[in-house]
Structure 1
Amino acid sequence: MRLAMSAQYLILAAALTLSTPQFSVAQEAVVGVKDADALFTSPDPTLNRNKQTTYKIIKELLEANHWDRADQYLTERYIQHNPNAASGRQGVVDYFTKVLKVKPTPIPDKMKTKIVSVVAEGDIVTVAYPREMKDPKDPSKSYTTTWFDSWRFVDGKADEHWDPATKGGK
């Protein structure tokens, strides 16, 4: 009985897919929440500390480019899984300051980066962001998707980082 039901669902799904014209495929825009700052808190003291450090990494390092403060938020061994930057705190600092050649700007009172969600579990904090991309089929158009950063924390500092970057990409 379950096999027959599964086959019926597959046939229905295939029929719907084949009967739907390509141009009718729609996407809901990915947007940030109204109060992103509220996402960087937790009643759990350890999760709150890690979320607050994540907030400062985004606001002070990534937005305002104050990489001179990296030692406050990143461990010395900082393991990097982005293929464009070397591991080690100095490796990521060099990537932003020597490769991308960012310059410090005033640190804003509130983070300006749009945030979709912040999830903290154990020693990991993951932040999802809306990301606008050019349509490869029509560069005059754009679409939104989701970017993420995940950090693993040790003693209140980011010790490891993941994102979906590809070589030569952001």
Structure 2
Amino acid sequence: MALFPLFFAATLAASSTAAATPTPAAIGSASASPTAATAVLSPRGQEALLASPNRRLAANKRLVFDMYRIVLQAGDTARAHEFIAANYVQHNPNAAQGLAGLIEYVKSTRPVRPVLDHLEIPMIHIMAEGNFVTIAFARPETDSTGQHYVTTWFDMFRIERGRIAEHWDPMLRSDRKIDPNKQKLP
């Protein structure tokens, strides 16, 4: 009988910890499109998600977040080596391997912009587990009939020795190259 109060206390502690963790509002049903107000984290919300009681996980999230801000959002490829390993493994079929491949891809898809302290692309969440960091975004698109809709984009990174060593995303070989910074929510 003493196990029930222990189970109840552990469940209560877990639920109060989860409630204190900053998360974006519900996105909605499959038929509803998220809006900027319900899907996207504010700069303060983005910063809050970088925190973790585990220093290594917090450092991994910060590495990915800063790489996004500086290299992918601002297009500052001169600083890419600060974040990306020279032997970087790329699973996006439209980009070449290695640090040089990432630099070429970024240069071919976006202009250089000012570095901001937050992401302007509509970030939903960032999470870290072990040596992996996954970041999710709301991605506005237009279908072949001109109808606007919002889907989800993700990037997953493997961290090794303080650098991003590997990357996955859902890009298809048939997808056109895009500047994700132009993807704005209506």
Would you call these one fold, judging by a TM-score over 0.5? yes
**Structure 2: any 5+ residue segments left out of the alignment?**
1-29, 178-186
Given candidates 150, 164, 168, the residue that maps to 2:170 is 164
1:86 matched to which residue of 2?
A: 96
For 1:79, what is the secondary structure of its paired residue?
strand
Whole-Å separation in 2 of the counterparts to 1:92 and 1:83: 12
Deviates more, 1:119-128 or 1:27-36: 27-36
Given candidates 31, 39, 42, the residue that maps to 1:26 is 31
For 2:123, what is the secondary structure of its paired residue?
coil
**Normalising to structure 1: TM-score of the pair?**
0.78
Given candidates 43, 51, 59, the residue that maps to 2:69 is 59
Pairing 1:95–2:114 present:
no
Given candidates 133, 145, 151, the residue that maps to 2:141 is 133
For 1:33, what is the secondary structure of its paired residue?
coil
Could you give the per-residue CA deviations for residues 69-109 of structure 1, whole angstroms, max 9, x where no partner exists? Answer: 01100000000000010110011101222x33x33221113
Identity, in percent, stands at 32
Give the conservation status (yes or no) of the 8 Å contact 1:125–1:150: yes
Taking only aligned residues, the RMSD between alpha carbons, in angstroms, comes to 1.6
Identify if the C-alpha distance between structure 1 residues 86 and 44 changes in structure 2 by more than 3 Å, giving closer, same or farther. same
Whole-Å separation in 1 of the counterparts to 2:116 and 2:58: 21
1:74 matched to which residue of 2?
A: 84
1:144 matched to which residue of 2?
A: 150
Give the conservation status (yes or no) of the 8 Å contact 2:154–2:169: yes
**Normalising to structure 2: TM-score of the pair?**
0.71
Q: How big is the shift at 1:59?
A: 0.4
Give the conservation status (yes or no) of the 8 Å contact 1:148–1:164: yes
